[in-house]
Structure 1
Amino acid sequence: MELDALTTDFTRRDWQHVTETDDPVRIAMIGVGWWTREQAMPAVAAADLCETTVLVSGDAAKAESVGADSPTVERGITYEQFHDGEASDAYDAVYVVTPNAEHLPFVETAAELGKAVLCEKPMEATVERAERMVATCDAHDVPLMVAYRMHTEPAVRRARDLIRDGYVGDPVFVHGNMTEPILELVPDADQWRLDWDLSGGCAAMDIGIYSLNTARFLLDADPTAVYGTAHSVAPEFDDVPDEHAAFQVAFPDHVTAMCTASQNAHLASHIRVTGTAGELRVEPAFYPWDERRLHVAHGESDLTIDFDGIDQMEEEFEYFAHCLLTDTEPHADGDHGLVDIRTLKGVYEASETGAAVEL
């Protein structure tokens, strides 16, 4: 097939066969920070298969105030009221977007109430707490999906199709990068990302996970070993070991991924797969406000495919709701998320010991 043909015959939502419903999935959003207000709630408001009906916050007045601007929100409740089961008849699923180390108790309560769970990545701050999350959802037979936006990003899905179709030959290397000046984007030196107890890690856990997980998605494979280095230089990062992180991930069939992440560097992101017969690169890749471009090189030809801007969060919520409405297991379930946590914790161990960590 000529490269020009790659711009055709692609369905953005190849996972979808339900496009409308009279009974949308009702979602309680747990955590009402800027991401919920500016990204998640507008995405759900634009979606066809779900709606926001409950807001849960540490501040009841804040939850009620934010909810007042939404025609679908029925209740604003506190964290304590959520754990007590209040308003549980007003939602079918929860979206957990608190700091990493606070995910578990909300997921446990949701599971006990029989509610499906969409949990932000990384799943938790430690492997043990993430494992408890999976075990609890399994015990109560409730769906658990981890919120990986790249899985429903059309440019990334197209890249995966092309890899499967052999356009790069046999994959050899993956290079991924995500960097940002976090204190410019969120100008608060006391933010939870810079608190080890709340975050479980800084650059690797918060944004290095994008390169790692997208590599897994593109290759349809899981890591076998990881080696990494991490260091912090600026005083604002004294509580975390990884202002900057770089790690090498071994995959089956002699494929290696090289991932870099920084919370104190120029804003940039890309992921590239190089194979024996070609190369694919998505750049920009990971920030939701960028319009994606897929660069394809095969033989002596190369092509850049521009993708229309889509709301990544809307795609993610629609996919989650679609899975619930069709009783389909989401691709990024709890076991999938555990692989990332174990791998990223391996980065910190390798940085301390200087040795690769088998997974």
Structure 2
Amino acid sequence: MTSPALTHSALCDTAKKWLTRSNSQRGHGCHVALSECRSGWGGEMPDAIGYRSISSTVPRTETVVVEVKVSRADFLADAKKPHRADGEGMGLYRYYMCPEGLIKPEEVPPRWGLLWVTARGNVKPILGPVALSNNCGTFDAACLEWQHARNTEREIWLLVRVMARIDDPDKVKNTINAALREQKRLSEIVVTQDEKIRKLQASQVMQSFEPVSSTELLVAIRRKTNPTSTPQQRQPKQLQTQEMTMPDAKPIQPVEVVRDPSGYFCHPSFQWDHLTTYEDIRKWFADHKLEHVIVSMQDQLDADEYEARLEADNHDADGWNPKPPDDGPWFILSIHCADDGPCCVMAKPALSEAQRVA
């Protein structure tokens, strides 16, 4: 029985996403992918089809068809369809996609590929060019033996019908470009306003200090550099030196990690934003005498599990429990989303110079 997550509709969406994967990700790198589109009255309706334009000495277009099967009966009946005759169907390259193990490799017709989908939703190439090569340098050579004679007229017809649904492609493109430009403009305004707020807050902090006259400042300096017969002069020299030393920053203590619905967390003492520089962060750790390390979810999760999260468009950190690099007294400062996905900042008290030597 098919898993609820591996329905025909769900696998069609999976096939559509797979078609646009690059060769390095075991895909065909199609520029356009469609699913469940009729190619004419009573004609072939591929579960998913991808179009790929290739720029070379002789520009050409390749098509890839994926037929989704979630039952044995559907697979066995597929061979009887009229568009399965040589030269009648669509797709220069053709694949069957099914739940893992439903179709055996030896049952697949000549020059057809086979894609299994695991219970986690990962696509596993079994037959076809993508099962032989994930290197763009060798991929074209691996493809030659898997090509079909195809009905290019039907493929073009399908594209025209899809374009007709859009009404005015240029208008849609211009609308999207205008929206992207507006998004960029608003982002720049947000950054500018954020910088103004930071400066205003800094100004308010400075104004909160009581003003000191130049005379008072001079007197304070003289007391420090040339003390007279004051109680401070009679204090031990070591104590005077300690008083002139800047006090250490308040130690950062571990707190209970309470994560939000997306799995993210930030220690109350570890508050940074997108304007904070790496030098600011390094100085903060040094001032608080902390060592730190950054671990990523991609490095710690099982490869199949991580890929399944990407397939499901889940870019949050929920369900991931970051692991420290060793058995030291590490505690979590932040779980947040970085350019490479969720990551975690951990810290522990830094060793003193004497401890390092020992």
Q: Give the TM-score range, shorter chain.
A: under 0.3
Higher strand share: 1
Question: Which of the pair has more CA radius of gyration?
Answer: 2
TM normalised by structure 1 equals 0.26
